[in-house]
Structure 1
């Protein structure tokens, strides 16, 4: 892989594979009609990462370089998403980060980001910021430092606030330290798009203090000094070029790439910082 990635990416890929391999379900062995030899899961992972980082199409993946075709990498991505592998991988790295005291979980940050969808499919809708062209939205919740904790995908016409409770429900249970595992933040920071008293009440019912800017008030509330890491996290996510624009018709495939990107971002924080 030295021809396609930097030293940092090689280290992350090795560390990622060490954590991913035990989570991959064993394939069913075929005796009567075995067919051609199955390519390695490690080769498929490297192909998936290359597509995610470079943004090329699956059919453009150089099979001779990776030892796995784009179609094979796509199938493994889908199969592992269905088996919950990517979600468990992300949760495992978050647990390691908490054990290393590299998470600040008392505060959570939320925000949303639009992206254009080039194909119709699940969770696609007219984007209000792109002349009603088909689009989707990434909804992200992070810790106080911008480490991604959970992400959801909706149509481009869905309001950010509608995903506030689903994001909280998607938060993983994070262990890594003695005592009870972490389940929810103490404070939640959000911009004016989340300014609805109904959702403030729902947050308080969950034991979370909402810190949400009020609509119609002057700028300069000071919340931006706390909220900016979640915007930086979107820049980290969209550094994976396959996530800047939605190419996949199937929402589960795009969400698999999102979760993988979150795991890689967390892993970089764990081993490179």
Structure 2
């Protein structure tokens, strides 16, 4: 599940393991723990049922390793490396960015980024917010409660886009235009986008459907579908926000990596 090419990108970013304090079993190699984590992400299996006969190590081992790697910012760094490769190959479309969100159910316990969903009979859930370039390559993802308004995440998502180098000149992190549906229709945010040098192209409420933005906006909907192709992201089972955010970050990296592989 972890190719040699992908592992060569991930391995240098992993933090050095601390000294072993007690004698016991040898430490599970990081690559095997990453394979176990990706197995959970792809299949949606519970950690305790992770098949150890496949060489992954225990579910708790993989969970601890995922927590440590997420705290070290491994997935943000990996995403940056992948975006730099795409920009160097001139495969990032900065002429426009597209933003959207999707609800996921979250039936377990209370968490900060979980709330009653207005589109699912007020059942508890979360939202995945996604910002892509013009080709649908993920630039930033985030997690909020299911009751958060989409427009509140517009600026935070833009702020999460890393400054991507890869070519001569300044690193770039700002698209020329931002496309969004009616959920982001607000004059205040249009003004704030213009202040950042970004042209807002946002569908307006109260007008007939057929704005023509669907021709360009489908790429973010496709990317969200790719994210939810990872079964662990279809329903939020994690009580801890950071663990679900780690899965979301890994999935964004894997989708970006697919685009990098097309260059080979």
Q: CA deviation at 1:116?
A: 0.1
Q: Deviations over 1:57-87 (max 9, x none)?
A: 1111101212311111111111000010111
Mapped partners of 2:160, 2:50: distance in 1: 32
Correspondence 1:200 to 2:190 = yes
Distance 1:146 1:191 in 2: 16
Structure 1 regions of 5+ residues with no counterpart? 1-9
Give 1:261's match in structure 2, choosing from 251, 256, 260: 251
Following the alignment from structure 1 to structure 2, what is the Cα–Cα distance between the partners of residues 217 and 239?
33
**2:162 alignment partner, SS class:** coil
Q: What do you get for the CA RMSD once the two structures are aligned?
A: 1.2
Structure 1, 118-127 or 148-157: larger mean CA deviation = 118-127
Quick one: distance in 2 between partners of 1:221 and 1:59? 48
Per the TM alignment, residue 270 of structure 1 is displaced from its structure 2 partner at its CA by: 0.9
How far 1:239 sits from its partner (Å)? 0.4
Q: CA deviation at 1:118?
A: 1.8
Partners of 1:42 and 1:75 lie apart in 2 by 14
1:176 counterpart = 2:166: yes
1:14 aligns with 2:4: yes
**Partners of 2:23 and 2:166 in 1: how far apart?**
42
| Deviations 1:12-63 (CA, angstroms, capped at 9, x unpaired) | 6332211110000111123x62432110000011111111011111111101
Residue 113 of structure 1 contacts residue 139 of structure 1 at CA under 8 Å; is this kept in 2? yes
Q: How many residues align?
A: 262
How much does 1:115 deviate? 0.4
Contact 2:48–2:59 (8 Å) recurs in 1 = yes
CA contact (8 A) 1:122 1:249 kept: no
Indicate the residue corresponding to 2:90 in structure 1: 101
TM-score under structure 2 normalisation? 0.96
Could you report, residue by residue, the CA deviation over 1:87-142 in whole angstroms, capped at 9, with x for unpaired residues? 11111111111112221122100001000002122200000011101000000000
- State whether structure 2 residue 124 is matched by structure 1 residue 134: yes
Task: Note if contact 1:110-1:139 (Cα within 8 Å) is conserved in structure 2.
Answer: yes
What is the alpha-carbon distance in structure 1 between the residues aligned to residue 257 and residue 208 of structure 2? 39
| 1:164 aligned residue | 154
Deviation string for 1:168-206 (max 9, x for gaps)?
111111111111111211100000010000000111111
Q: Determine helix, strand or coil for the equivalent of 2:235.
A: coil
Give distance in 2, aligned partners of 1:160 and 1:109.
13
Asked if the contact 1:109/1:189 (under 8 Å) is kept, the reply is: yes
Write the distance in 2 (CA, Å) between the matches of 1:206 and 1:90: 24
Matched with 2:39 is 50
Q: Aligned partners of 2:23, 2:76: CA distance in 1, in Å?
A: 30
How far apart are the structure 2 equivalents of 1:205 and 1:85?
A: 32
Report if aligned partners of 2:85, 2:166 keep a CA contact under 8 Å in 1. yes
- The residue aligned with 1:218 is 208
